[in-house]
A and B are shown apart, each in its own frame.
Chain A
Amino acid sequence: MRKMNLKPMMNPHSVAIIGASRNPDKVGHVILQNYINAGYSGKLYAVNKEADEIMGVKAYKSVLDIKENIDLAVIAIPAEFVPQAMEECGKAKVKSLVVVSGGFAEIGNNDLQDKLVSVANKYNMPTLGPNCLGIMDPKSREDTLFLPTFKLSRPQVGGVSFVCQSGAVGSTVLDLIAGEGFGLSKFISYGNAAHVDEVDILSYLMDDPDTKAIIMYVEGIKRGKEFVELARKITKKKPVIILKAGRTAAGMAAARSHTAALAGNYEEHEAIFRQFGFTVAEDLSELLYYAKILSTESFPSGGRTAIITNGGGVGVITADAMASTKHLTLADFTQKTKTALRKVMPPLVNITNPLDLAGDAGEERYGAALSLLSADPNVDMILVIALFQTPGADSRVAAKLISAKEQLDKPLIALSIGADYTKMHRIMMESAGLPVYDSPSSAVKSLDALLKYAKYRNGK
């Protein structure tokens, strides 16, 4: 398998922005502005034929004039000039490229794209794109996105890396991730995949210690056999959640056999994802739900789940949702646990699963229930429902859940449904590493996905 060195691209110590501009309408302006805003700590160079200086950054006529080591050049100029700029980068020994510019194979301009690939190969420069957003890494403060920060919020540092072929899906999901507490390790939008493709990117992320889980949106896989070879390895190391577009384009009409009629292109992709332990998402929100739980690196040994709640109805709805999954069951607490719970809980609390702590439950009841259930050998996972509209629930309950999460070696998730006051607590808990869900079905599906992945990893 080919091995591209993507380190200079993913974690560059020096960046040249080709097409940096004083004109705020230009893509190159926004990219440079974002690097400055993000507080990028490496060396920054602007390349522009006319200006001497842009936003306080010294500008050069050509990348060849910089005469310093350059790890990454971001190219944001009209497509026709890209191959020439790449030639100059090659001569200047630039280590890697991100070509943001569009106007290549996506509009039928295949010759120009072929030219791009041949220059990339000639100088052995890993090249991302063209027609892509590029890379964002909140930790190294790399940010090649041409979308201003007031339009697209930047996520906090976290353990989830997001690989995305489409720029539009990429920026949408990225904005959603910014609204979640779990945070981002790297965002990589690779557009036309002319040179660097999904296999190269996944190979890099497989060994990236900052990446705990990967979410991925693909339209097509370029190198099928290499992808399968990689798929066998990567999911044994870290979870990969994948959304594949093109579900409905099954080529039914011309098929000669039943097998060919059933097993279209999407089905084949899905089969491979399943076979090699990927978590398949069916829409954008599922990407986030699954990422949240799978990036915690806490894996269950079975599907017996305890539900703790401060609202009876929501507990029942959640138990119902659980019944529709394949592998989750309501845990049957041991006699020892039941006796201990009976002792500490007030008479209005029935000792059953779901365990309804009642609307006036505060941190004490949550704390007692969590510590007893986490010690119960019949419980593999715990789902805690904390409804912050109730009289007993406030930030102390959230804090109790966070400290339980820190001590627990079993998977624990929270379900909190509601508006502003609840959202505040959701972010609080999630930033501390506790996955929080906003609907019974998403919570339950995510636990099911976690269990499925854990089983795959253990070879079951």
Chain B
Amino acid sequence: MALLEYFEARKLLEKYNIKSIGSKYVSSASDAVKFSKGSGIALKLISDKALHKSKAGLVKLNLSDAKEISFAYNDLVRKGKNLRPYKILAQEMAPGGIEIIIGGRVDPQFGRFILLGLGGIYVEVFKDFALRLCPITQQDALHMIDQLKSRNVITYNGKSTKHLVDLLLKVSKMISENGSITELDLNPIIIRENGYDAVDIRVLK
């Protein structure tokens, strides 16, 4: 199993109209500052050797001025010494919202599954998730949401249910149609009342 390169994974998502946050690889601190255009960004170190980035301190969020960006960039370079080869990804900061996870995996016995859960750092703390076999129907998507304890939180009491259902159907379609995907993590996706952004994308083939 190999991790699909970030921009390739993004391209795959785009094919299914799944929105992800503006991103670019940067090769220097000034490169990163230029990408920020004065608004907040995140910097992430991406390496096959580091699977759980935030746990390892490889994710720097809400960097707004040049000084902060440079400091964070240099810190990642220092941490990256043992993680070569690596790249540093700059991303726009998604507008505030709730972090969810949508994932997928293949089981040799039953086939391809889709997962929805409360995301980000809460995934493994609360283990609040729902799983279904792909492809799912709209009804299945609604049941998945309904199964979560956090359903009112992630849907803003139902206000974002419709676009969450749409998103689940798109991801289910992508999982079903791409036989080579063995595991998928869209974690986090920042969901808001009126939209969402996929932030971290991990596709294993």
Contacts from A to B (Cβ < 8 Å): 221, 224-225, 227-228, 256-263, 265, 267-268, 270-272, 274-275, 326, 459-460
Q: How far is the CB of A452 from chain B (nearest CB, A)?
A: 10
B124 A271 Cβ-Cβ under 8 A: no
| A271 with B51, Cβ < 8 A, contacts A224-B107, A262-B115, A262-B117 known | no
| A258 with B140, Cβ < 8 A, contacts A224-B107, A263-B131, A271-B132 known | no
| A272 with B147, Cβ < 8 A, contacts A258-B103, A262-B124 known | no
Closest residue of chain B to A276 (Cβ to Cβ) is B133
Cα(A270)–Cα(B144), bound, Å: 13
Interface residue B196 (Cβ < 8 Å from any Cβ of A): no
Partner of A268, one of B1, B113, B123, B183: B113
Cα(A173)–Cα(B123), bound, Å: 37
> Please, could you name 15 A-B residue pairs with CB atoms under 8 Å apart, sorted by A?
A228-B110, A256-B1, A256-B204, A257-B183, A258-B124, A261-B124, A262-B127, A262-B129, A263-B105, A263-B113, A268-B107, A271-B132, A274-B143, A274-B147, A460-B139
Cα(A263)–Cα(B133), bound, Å: 12
Cα(A270)–Cα(B132), bound, Å: 9
Q: Which residues of B contact A459 (CB under 8 A)?
A: 139
| A272 with B133, Cβ < 8 A, contacts A257-B184, A257-B204 known | yes
Counting chain B CB atoms within 10 Å of each CB, the highest count among A224, A256, A326, A460 belongs to A256
Main secondary structure of the interface of A (DSSP, over half): helix
Cα(A232)–Cα(B143), bound, Å: 16
Q: How far is the CB of B46 from chain A (nearest CB, A)?
A: 15
B139 A259 Cβ-Cβ under 8 A: no
Q: How far is the CB of A460 from chain B (nearest CB, A)?
A: 8
Q: Which residues of A contact B183 (CB under 8 A)?
A: 256-257, 259-260
* Interface residue ranges of B89-108 to A (CB < 8 Å): 101, 103-105, 107
A259 B184 Cβ-Cβ under 8 A: yes
Q: Which residues of A contact B131 (CB under 8 A)?
A: 262-263, 267-268, 270-271
B115 A263 Cβ-Cβ under 8 A: yes
Closest residue of chain A to B128 (Cβ to Cβ) is A262
Q: Which residues of A contact B101 (CB under 8 A)?
A: 258-259
